[in-house]
Each structure stands twice: as structure tokens, then as C-alpha cells.
Chain A
Amino acid sequence: MTRFGLFRWSVLAAALTPAASLVYWTFTGDLTANPVDFITDTTGTTALSLLVFTLTVTPLRRVTSRNELIRLRRMLGLLAFFYACLHMLTWIVLDWFFDVASMAADVTERPYIMMGMATFLLLVPLAATSTTAMIRRLGRRWQPLHRLVYVAAATAVIHFWWVVKADFRQPRLWAVALCVLFGFRVWWVLQAHAPARA
């Protein structure tokens, strides 16, 4: 295996560790006194982390000129989606146990749930169009579509912000990270459009 291949496998293993830990803690009885809350928080935080890591791939690639990094991007994005699915399933199965009426009320009356749902719905088309075949089929339209990942990351941070009672350190950190990453893109676009020097 190439060194990069090994790196990719270790990133995958690390990214799957939170899920594996949850399974492990289920059997050791270490899911805290409030397992539903703990699973929700763990899967939510991991989904958001991975989403933001996905967004760091391209800047890292440009800064380091290591093109193979691009091979991490789809994997990280799909892992983020995987955790978003676990997170939502936790809400549906463990939190409400398929109580459709209560879930509907939750989505319509609770802005933070609405924001979480919006994030999830934004991630669905991205995951669905992540296969090589779909990338080919969409051609030039693929990239504009996948810029939605920025919107998803932003709504995820807002969702997190609205969950928190008083300690905003974590959502603030993610908001700053997003701003920096977005700043990179804006900077490059401006650079590209800057008038050529005489």
C-alpha cells in the first residue's frame, strides 16, 4: 500500500472510532446516565466535525500542492453524511420512537430542529451525487451543486448554536473555522478576478 493509501485508511479508521466507541460503550454500560442525549451529541458533533474537515481538503491541497488529498474529500463527506444519518435516526428511534406527531411538531415549532433537518436535507443530494457515475452525468453542473456543502455547514453550525444553553465555546469555534475556510475561497476568487498587473 502506498503511504497515502495507509493515511487514507487511518483517517477512515479514526472517523469510524466515535461510532465504534458508541457500540462499545453500549455493551460496557458507559453511555452516561442519559444515553439518548449522549448518542445524539456524539453523532451530531462528529457529523459537524467531518463536514468541516471535508471543507478543509481543498484549501489544504492548494496550500500543500498535494493533489492526492482530493481523494479524501468524498470519503470525509460521505462519513459526515453517515453520522448525520445516525444522528437523525437517534432522534427518530431513540428520542421519539417513531412518534410522528411529536416529531412533526418538533420540526415545525423548534427552530433548531428545523435547522438540523434543513442541514440533513441539504446533505442528501450531495451524498446521492457523489458517485463517479453521477459526477460524470452531471458534468459542469456538479460543482455548483456541491457548493451547497457550505450552506449545509453553515446551517449545521446554526443548529448547534441553537441547541446550546449558555456555553457557546464549541459552536463559536466551528463558526470561526467555517469563516476562515470560506475566507480562503473568497480570497482565491478575488485573486483570480484581480486585473492583471501591467
Chain B
Amino acid sequence: MVIRKAPDIRYSEVTPKALYVRRREFIQAAAVAAAGAAAALSPVGGGRVHAQGGGVKLPNLRKSQFSTTEKLNSYEDVTGYNNFYEFGTDKDDPKRNANRLVPRPWTIRVEGLVKTPATYDIDSLVKPYALEERIYRLRCVEAWSMVIPWIGFPLADLVKRLEPLPSARFIEFTTLADLKQMPGIRVPVLDWPYVEGLRLDEAMHPLAILAVGLYGEVLPNQNGAPIRLVVPWKYGFKGIKSIVRIRFTDTQPRTSWPVANAREYGFYSNVNPTVDHPRWSQATERRLGEFFRRKTLMFNGYGDQVAQLYAGMDLRRNY
């Protein structure tokens, strides 16, 4: 008797359904009530809006030993409270504006110190990998955190396939910067395009993944569709979204936040409760959905796995 195994459905076989625009369902009460000059008094925010993109199931996901068993944050929280400044600096701006992002067709340019620089179509790039679910803690540099069930594959698998040259020591990622799709880049809040990077040994660590989905579905635009980085032991901003370029270098990439303010943000940006942000404490965090603050863990609780990457380094200086 032949027992047929369910085929692993690859990422490329799943086409995101047509993206649609949904207006804010909820008009702010304040805006309605306060007329004329008084309207200036009303707060910005509140209200419900819908996730953009997403909604398409990614089947046959593998479980991972690296997943936490902690309580997940709701899909609403994960897709409605985002820092993605290309769509605006308020937390609900990405959800509101990311419908303008067109995640297909999408190409990623691979360049720098690599065997064959080339431009890849997203689907062909991701095709070889069986997707897994990784439930990770996400700790934002702003001292809040979530637990998110990402869908993705190890970054290391892609790096190996791209064959960086022996001289390559860093990997640099760049986000799309297209004014037509991203209204936020009209404002020079950061030096666009957004750039992030890792040391190559950090990139090869099994915890570092490229995510193409969350909550069992294709990645919503506001979370960085079609592909983003997730490095759970670092502050959230290291997880660069909507990647269009990967470059291998022998010098440390000039990443966006240190460029904006080197005193406040470093290249490494490992979660570290003992090194405060110059303006606020990093010792505690508010897990969204919880009332009391909780203690922030070294390397966001992934110290057993990643601490050896930084053996002998002064983490106060390399913040």
C-alpha cells in the first residue's frame, strides 16, 4: 500500500488575492464633534482599520523548536500597530496607507561581494524553501513588545545559496522607497531608502529569518510585504521590511537609525535591559495587551542561543 504524503506546497503556488482598499471604518468621534478651529484640539488616532493584503492562507507550515509558547498578540494588534515610517509615523498609518504598496511583481537585487550578482523575482527566490512558523517575541526600541507567529525560512539558507565571497563580512538590506506607493517618504524623517544590516555571522544564525507571512497567511503590506527580516534578539527596527536589495560588503553598513542619530541608535541594537536608550529606560517593557510592565530580558530572552556571537564584545559601547 502506498501512503501518499501531502506535497509541500511551496510559497510560489500561493498567489495573493487582489489587494483592495478599505476606508477607515470608524470616523473619529472627536473630529465629528469639534467644529472649526476647535477641531485642532481633537486627538489623532483611535478607530479601527483593516489589514491590507494578507488574508491568503499559507498551507503546510512546519513548526519550529525555536517558537515560544507564550500567548500570541492578536492579529489586530500585529497588523494594526506598526512602525513603518514609509507609510507615516503614527502607529496606525501603515495599516491605513499600505494598501498602496504593490507586492507583486517584486524583484530583489543581490549585489556586492557575492558570486553572481543578479536580480531575482521574489517568487523564484523564495521557491526552494519550505516555510515554517516561528513564534517570536518582538521587542521594540520604544519599550513595548508583542508575540508574533511569523512564517518564513532561515536567512542562512538564502545566504548560503547566494554564495557570498570570502571577503564579505556584512549583509545589507534596503527597503523600497517609492513615493507613489509610500506617502510617508515625502517627509524626510529618515534618510530614505531605509537601510539595515547584520554581521554575516549574525545573518547565519538559525534564529534570523526572512518572513513572508504571519498568522498562517501571506504577509500584510503594513508588516513589510512581500518579504522582511526578523531578528528576534534585536530591537524591532532591525527587522527591515519590503526588501528590494541585498548587498554583501566588507564594511559595516550605514544603517538608517544610527545615521539619523548615532548617539541613540547603534548598528548592533541588541535588546539589552542594562543599556538604556539615552532618553528612556530599556529595563522594562509593556507587552501589548498586558497592564503591568514586565522586565526586559537580555537579547530579548534569546541569550542562550545568541550570546556567543558577542563574546568578548563590550555591549555598552557596541549598543
Count of chain A to chain B residue pairs whose CB atoms are closer than 8 Å in the complex: 106
Find chain B residues with CB under 8 A from A20 CB.
29, 33
Among residues 238 to 290 in chain B, which have CB atoms less than 8 Å away from a CB atom of chain A? 260-261, 276, 279-281, 284, 286, 288-289
Complex contact B281–A169 (CB within 8 A): no
Pair B89/A166 contact, Cβ less than 8 Å: yes
Instruction: Name which of A22, A105, A165, A169 has the most chain B CB atoms within 10 A of its CB.
Output: A165
Contacts of B280 in A (CB 8 A): 110, 112
Taking the complex as formed, is A156 at the interface, i.e. its CB lies under 8 A from any CB of chain B? no
Q: Are B190 and A166 in contact (CB under 8 A)?
A: yes
- The residues of B that contact A38 with a CB separation of less than 8 Å are 45-46
Q: Is A67 engaged at the interface, CB distance under 8 Å to the other chain?
A: no
B313 sits at the interface (CB 8 A) = no
Residues of A within 8 A of B85 (CB): 166-167
Also in contact, A31 and B34, with CB within 8 A (given A110-B279, A166-B189, A167-B89): no
CB neighbours (8 Å) of B201 from chain A are none
Cα distance A25–B280 in the bound complex, in angstroms: 28
Asked whether B38 lies within 8 Å of A14 as measured between CB atoms, the reply is yes
Check B288 against A42 for contact (C-beta < 8 Å): no
> A34 contacts B81, CB within 8 Å?
yes
Interface size on A, residues (CB 8 A): 42
Q: Which residues of A contact B158 (CB under 8 A)?
A: none
Given known A30-B48, A34-B81, contact A21–B43 (CB-CB < 8 A): yes
Does the CB pair B187–A167 fall under 8 Å? yes
How far apart are the CA atoms of A14 and B288 in the complex, in Å? Answer: 31
Report B6-42 CB contacts with A as 1/0, cut-off 8 Å: 0000000000000000000010111001110011111
- Give the residue name and chain of the A residue nearest to B26 (CB): A30
Known: A11-B38, A34-B81, A167-B189. A42 touches B47 (CB 8 A): no
Contact A42 B45, CB 8 Å, known A33-B76, A169-B187: yes
Indicate whether A119 reaches chain B with its CB closer than 8 angstroms: no
In Å, the complex CA distance between A18 and B31 comes to 9
A96 CA / B281 CA spacing, docked (Å): 13
A45 at the B interface (CB under 8 A): yes
Chain B, residue nearest A94 (CB): B291
Closest to B48 in A: A30
Query: Chain A residues near B33 (CB, 8 Å)?
Result: 13-14, 17, 20-21
Q: Which of A32, A110, A162 makes the CB contact (< 8 A) with B91?
A: A32
Complex CA–CA separation, A42 to B26 (angstroms) = 18
For window 37-91 of B, CB contacts with A under 8 Å fall at 38-48, 73, 76-77, 80-81, 85, 89, 91
Residue of B nearest to A43 (CB): B43
Question: Which residues from B are CB-within-8-Å of A166?
Answer: 85, 89, 189-190, 260-261
A31 to B43 Cα, complex, angstroms: 12
Known contacts A17-B34, A112-B279, A166-B190: A30-B46 contact under CB 8 Å: yes
**How far, in angstroms, from A135 to B214 measured CA to CA in the complex?**
61
Chain B residues lying within 8 Å of A31, measured Cβ to Cβ, are 46
* B120 close to chain A: CB less than 8 A: no
Contact A14 B76 (CB under 8 A): no
A166 to B146, CA, bound (A): 22
Nearest chain B CB to A71 CB, angstrom units: 16
Tell me whether A36 is interfacial, beta carbon within 8 Å. Answer: yes
A173 CB, min distance to chain B CBs, angstroms: 11
Given contacts A30-B26, A110-B280, A112-B279, contact A17 B41 (CB under 8 A): yes
- Judge if A97 is at the interface, Cβ distance under 8 Å: yes
Determine whether A15 belongs to the interface, using a CB cutoff of 8 Å to chain B.
yes
CA–CA, A49 to B45, complex, Å? 16
| Residue B142 interfacial (CB < 8 Å) | yes
**Which B residues are CB-close (under 8 A) to A15?**
38, 41
| Residue A109 CB within 8 A of the other chain | yes
Residue in A17, A30, A50, A105 whose CB lies within 8 Å of B281: A105
Residues of B within 8 A of A17 (CB): 29-30, 33-34, 38, 41-42
With A and B bound together, what is the CA distance between A176 and B172 in angstroms?
39
Q: Is A10 an interface residue (CB 8 A)?
A: yes
Q: Which A residue sits closest to B256, measured CB to CB?
A: A166
Residues of B within 8 A of A182 (CB): none
Contact B41 A18 (CB under 8 A): yes
A-B contact pairs, 17 of them (CB 8 A): A14-B35, A15-B41, A17-B30, A17-B42, A18-B30, A32-B46, A32-B92, A34-B81, A37-B286, A45-B44, A53-B41, A94-B291, A165-B142, A166-B85, A166-B260, A166-B261, A167-B85
Known contacts A34-B81, A38-B46, A42-B45, then 8 further A-B pairs from the complex at CB < 8 Å, ordered by chain A residue: A15-B41, A17-B30, A20-B33, A34-B286, A53-B41, A110-B280, A166-B190, A166-B260
Q: Which 3 A-B pairs have the closest CB atoms?
A: A14-B38, A33-B81, A42-B43
